[in-house]
A and B are shown apart, each in its own frame.
Chain A
């Protein structure tokens, strides 16, 4: 699934958040959007699923202009996505199992035995099988992220979007999440777009990295090129993260 941003500008609450984003994300790659908080990373991600519409410019997913899609056509496109939200976004009146089963029951309308089978598989893969009965309020942040990830992949998506998958997690859990992202990519050969400000995580999982600065793409290249980049802002960002770790 190929994604293209062409000169995307976005204003929110009177602020110019995206100032001409141009990006191309290739099918099958893990693309990381890096940057400090408030640079428009999550807003960029939300354009891909049509939660935001560009004020100018276009976002294409497999040749379809997402900003112009409505109703059934948008739903059909979204059914090919899985999204892991920053907080997990689990419905708090449902247990983990029902949360994971939600898109299969409500959107895909699968038969209950098939739903059970798929949910069991995904929960086992993510180490949540023994915790299926727990409510979102009873589990840790890491477990919430894994449950959110289980819900994102249970529909066998072609594209997974991760919004800050390691934020608020301890380093051990962060690396486990990284491993999960890499193993999902290797096993399912899906396109992944990851928004993060965690440089270690980005280096662990990315095929290519884009660094955002004040609503613009400062650098977009492979991990090796990124590490060797002479761009002043890239050097500053890497230095700041290395000093902080």
Chain B
């Protein structure tokens, strides 16, 4: 039982040293339990065929339902990138290079990070709210009593679905962003589609794509891990579900950005 039904309790204290110490211990304890839950979910991945219907349902919710918002965000991210960089490059007569810059920025950073932020805000918050509601309405306890492991039944299908759909959406975001950049380049910067396309292909290497996919895998694990853990450990009714949902989005955002920086440092 990774998520305890009995929450940690310490009597209130006004001593700042005690307060800081307890807060630190709380963070460490939650991080440890969250990591153990993700590890357990990975151990259950060989049983994925048993949960294939749920995995498909989660893939639909995480992926297909996110295509709309991803399209708009990716398109405008590419367009903003092309416009801002293109205007600066034009001062140096290098606006034809805008395709290189947009491709580089989208594939290396913006694609994976924008997709992860969209998914943590839309899918992660929904997971935390759903599992949180289940926790406070005794559905998780009911699963335990029926000898159904909540990590296998609820966390593993979400993890598997997100690990497939996050890279798919990231590649889609990269593509739409590059297309958006091309639209701005041809309409605002007088760079032809052909020239833009040439620059895109010149810059686009397998390394960029693979690192983008690797980043999106890490982000998928972070989003599912945080949102499932926060949801499963929700207590105190509707207020607890609200707190779990908010925490899942805030912590996912922070960890996506921090891990994004360290992954970039690792590979470039």
Contact = CB atoms under 8 A, between A and B. Distances in A.
Contacts of A11: 9
Given A46-B141, A49-B145, A151-B146, 20 more contacts: A11-B9, A14-B9, A49-B144, A51-B5, A51-B141, A51-B145, A53-B6, A75-B147, A78-B144, A78-B145, A78-B146, A81-B145, A83-B145, A85-B141, A89-B139, A102-B146, A103-B148, A106-B146, A107-B147, A155-B146
Given A12-B6, A52-B5, A103 B147 contact: yes
22 contacts: A12-B6, A13-B7, A14-B11, A46-B141, A49-B144, A49-B145, A78-B144, A78-B147, A85-B141, A85-B142, A89-B139, A89-B142, A91-B139, A102-B148, A103-B146, A103-B147, A106-B146, A107-B146, A107-B147, A107-B148, A151-B146, A155-B146
Nearest to A87: B137
Interface of A: 11-14, 46, 49, 51-53, 75-76, 78-79, 81, 83, 85-87, 89-91, 102-103, 106-107, 151, 155
Interface of B: 5-7, 9, 11, 134, 137-139, 141-142, 144-148, 153
A163 B134 CA distance: 17
B14 to A, nearest CB: 16
Contacts of A151: 146
B161 to A, nearest CB: 15
The 9 closest A-B pairs by CB, nearest first: A89-B142, A75-B147, A103-B146, A107-B147, A89-B138, A85-B138, A106-B148, A83-B145, A89-B139
Given A102-B148, A107-B148, A83 B142 contact: yes
A51 B148 contact: no
A64 to B, nearest CB: 15
Contacts of A13: 7, 9
A65 to B, nearest CB: 16
Contacts of A83: 142, 145
A78 B142 CA distance: 11
Most chain B beta-carbon contacts within 10 A, residue among A13, A79, A89: A89
A18 to B, nearest CB: 13
A79 B137 CA distance: 21
A86 B147 contact: no
A89 B11 contact: no
Nearest to B140: A89
A79 B147 contact: yes
A53 B1 CA distance: 12
Contacts of B141: 46, 51, 85, 89
A182 to B, nearest CB: 23
A103 to B, nearest CB: 4
Given A13-B7, A52-B6, A89 B148 contact: no
Contacts of B6: 12, 52-53
B144 A51 contact: yes
A30 to B, nearest CB: 19
B5 A46 contact: yes
